[in-house]
Structure formats: C-alpha cells, structure tokens
Amino acid sequence: MVVILGSPTPESAEIYAKTVTEGDPSWVGPLAGIALKLPVYHVLEPEVKNQFDQSLYDDQVGIMESVLDTDDLIKTVSKVRSEQ
C-alpha cells in the first residue's frame, strides 16, 4: 500500500505525510500516536509522475506543477519518507 498526497503546500504535505508514517503530528485526529509507517509520495514526485499516461497527467495534474512550489513539496515528502 502506498499513500499519494496532493496537498498544495509543503506545510500541509508534511502534516499528512507524517500522519500516515509516524502518526498525526498535530495530535488532533484519530491517527494521533499511531505509526502506520506507510510509504508516502506526493503526486508531483517523479516516481509517481512517471507511472502515469503522460497526456492524462498533463490534463489532470500538469498545470499544478507550474502553480505550486513543486521542488519544496518533493523535498518535504521525500524527507519524511526517508526518515522511516
């Protein structure tokens, strides 16, 4: 099982990435203190992007690559993943 995030900011992506790995860092949701240790990726990461039919990806996600802080998002989520 792999978790794919679409969160628009590095801050929110970090919260969701940690929620499905080490447990909800904000301690407000049902996964507080529960470490699922699931592999987590952002949909803008190349490992995910390359799995898609490219024209479909461009149609559905492509524009967000130029809108969001893609590099920061990739850095943030891959860091959480590597800390597992």
Partner 1 sequence: MVQHGSKPSREIQKDPETLKLIQSSLRSLNEAISYAPHQVMLGNIYPDTLSELESPWYENPTDSNSHKGPHGEIVGEEIFYGLIKGVDDFGLVSIEESFAKRSYSEIKKMGYLTGDLLQKIEGVPVSEIENRLQEDNVLPLRLGTGETIGFISTDYAEDPSLSPDILLENLTVKATATMALNSVLESNGVDPETIDYVIGSGEEAIGDRYNRGGGNLAKAVAEAAGCMQSTGADIKAFCCAPVHATVVGGSLITSGVFPNIAVIGGCSLAKLGMKFQGHLKKGIPIMEDVLVGFAILLGPDDQVSPVLRLDSVGRHTVAAGSVQQKIVEALVQTPLSKVGLKFQDIGKYATEMHNPEITDTAGSGNVPQTNYRLIAALAALNGEIEKGAESRDAFVKTHGMPGFSPTQGHVASAIPFLGHALDDLKRGNYQYSMFLAKGSLFLGRMTHMSDGESFILEKNH
Inter-residue contact 77 to 42 (CB < 8 Å): yes
Rounded to the nearest whole angstrom, what is the least distance from the CB of residue 43 to partner 1 in the complex?
12
User: C-beta of 10: minimal distance to partner 1 in Å?
Assistant: 9
User: Structure tokens of 17?
Assistant: 């990435």
Q: Structure tokens of 83?
A: 């800390």
In the complex with partner 1, the residue whose CB is nearer, 8 or 39, is 8
Give the separation between CA 33 and CA 17, rounded to whole angstroms. 14
Sites of contact with partner 1 (CB under 8 A): 8-9, 11-12, 15, 26, 28, 59-64, 66-68
Residue with tokens 């790995």: 21
User: In whole angstroms, how close is the CB of 9 to partner 1 at the nearest point?
Assistant: 4
